[in-house]
Amino acid sequence: MNYTLNCNGRLLSLEEPQVMGILNVTPDSFYAGSRVQTERDIVSRAQQIVTEGGSIIDVGACSTRPDSEPATEQEEMERLRGALGIIRREMPDAIISVDTFRPDVARMAVEEFGVDIINDVGTPTTHHLPPTTHHLTPMHRMVTGLQVPYIYMSRKATMRDILLDCAEVMDTLRAMGQKDIILDPGFGFGKTLEENYAVLNNLERMQMTGLPVLVGVSRKSMIYKCLDIDPAQALNGTTVLNTIALTKGASILRVHDVREAVEAVKLSNCKYPK
């Protein structure tokens, strides 16, 4: 997709799909390999993401795994302040997104640390309306004021409803002056195993929005439950689904395993000599 994100004045082209590496400063994220707590671990993980070819570091400080007890807003802010301060000190030019559903956390991250992208997974209470009902959330108001690229994730269960939901949000945000919008179909959120795969099989339909699509399937239950394994064994399955997503137009892959995702992007774009 010929789309460029304006990340605090730095332009990130999505003409070739980009890889977003996950860095979780939480004690309870579903995949243990993504959790980092100490300063040394945070630096090491951030450097690993960039060294392996990731163009975005996605920092999360509040687990959204099923049945988790969310951190309080204060806990989330404290964790993020520690991690973002370390990353900005060690890697001042890194493009950083923050994974949060709280508007005030988003504001803190952008205003205090110059975070480049807000990755909003929302909360169940903001996704209960019928898909054709106009809805404006506090996060939408916040992000349009911050004017940073915004990732909207839909919790709708079918591709039809995802497209309707995203269309409503796109119209709302554009009317408020939001420039850069990325859409996430929300694999693993509000969907059964069968619904996740139905959305993946129809992912190319999201190209009709004209906006870049982020896919986050990395080591999720739609992989390990289907294969009767655990998240630690789900790398191969993740790479398979990421490759399918790339063939259907994904512009950003959000992953735990950066090197393997970068290789999938390179091979999917490989131009063989005649």
Is 271 designated active site? Answer: no
Strand, coil or helix: what is 89?
Answer: helix
Cβ-based neighbours of 4, under 8 Å, separated by 6 or more: 11, 12, 13, 14
Catalytic pick from 45, 102, 155, 254? 254
Distance CA 57, CA 1 (A): 21
In contact, 106 and 143? CB cutoff 8 Å: yes
Distance CA 175, CA 194 (A): 35
Cβ-based neighbours of 274, under 8 Å, separated by 6 or more: none
Distance CA 29, CA 45 (A): 15
Catalytic pick from 45, 79, 156, 220? 220
82-89 long-range contacts, Cβ below 8 Å, gap at least 24?
82/25, 82/42, 83/23, 83/25, 83/42, 83/59, 84/59, 84/109, 84/112, 84/113, 84/115, 85/113, 86/39, 86/42, 86/43, 86/46, 87/23, 87/42, 87/43, 87/46, 87/57, 87/59, 88/113, 88/114
Is 220 designated active site? Answer: yes
Active-site residue list? 220, 254
